[in-house]
């Protein structure tokens, strides 16, 4: 049996995407407990929604993660959910810190994102890349 693919109903698939999210204005906020909380929140979202986080690393102003997802999901929806839920969570927990950085609106992430499907490249290769970027 081929373990590289997921099976569900009449679908057989292997979908993985490398996503990069950047903090608004490239503020260097992804450090210490904020970075740890963002990672944990993304893991929680993945577990709740049926995604699998294969690798994840933060730098001071951005986060990389490699995610496996179902054929019925769209990358733009995954990004939207991750941005919305992490922003809400961070503002609940770090209101005093974030209000000094973003005084107009309760934002955390920049408007855009980077997403790249990895095709048949091995997950190990992408994981090494993500870890080297972090």
Q: What is the pLDDT of residues 52-78, one digit of tens each?
A: 999 999 999 999 999 999 988 999 999
Q: What is the pLDDT of residue 129?
A: 72
Q: What is the pLDDT of residue 79?
A: 98
Q: What is the pLDDT of residue 134?
A: 63
Check whether 99 has a pLDDT greater than 80: yes
Mean pLDDT of 34-57: 97
Q: What is the pLDDT of residue 1?
A: 42
Check whether 2 has a pLDDT greater than 60: no
The pTM of the full predicted model, rounded to 2 decimals, is 0.85
Task: Return the CATH fold of 7-130.
Answer: Alpha-Beta Plaits (3.30.70)
Distance, in Å, from the CA atom of 47 to the CA atom of 62, rounded to the nearest integer, reads 22
Q: What is the pLDDT of residue 131?
A: 78
Instruction: Report the Cα–Cα distance between both ends of the chain, in Å, rounded.
Output: 35
To the nearest whole number, what is the mean pLDDT of the chain?
A: 90
Active site residues: 129
Parse the chain into domains and list their residue ranges. Answer: 7-130
- Asked if residues 60 and 30 have their Cβ atoms less than 8 Å apart, the reply is yes
- Cβ neighbourhood burial of 50 (10 Å; 0-12, 13-18, 19+): exposed
């Amino acid at each position: 049996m081929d373990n590289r693919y997921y099976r569900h109903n009449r679908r057989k698939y292997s979908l993985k995407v490398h996503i990069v999210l950047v903090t608004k204005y490239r503020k260097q906020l992804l450090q210490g407990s904020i970075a740890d909380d963002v990672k944990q929140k993304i893991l929680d979202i993945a577990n709740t929604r049926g995604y699998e986080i294969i690798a994840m690393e933060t730098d001071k102003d951005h986060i990389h993660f490699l995610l496996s997802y179902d054929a019925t999901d769209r990358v733009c929806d995954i990004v939207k959910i991750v941005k919305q839920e992490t922003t809400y969570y961070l503002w609940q927990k770090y209101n005093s810190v974030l209000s000094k950085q973003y005084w107009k609106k309760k934002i955390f992430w920049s408007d855009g994102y980077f997403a790249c499907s990895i095709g048949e490249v091995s997950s190990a290769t992408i994981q090494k890349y993500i870890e080297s970027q972090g």
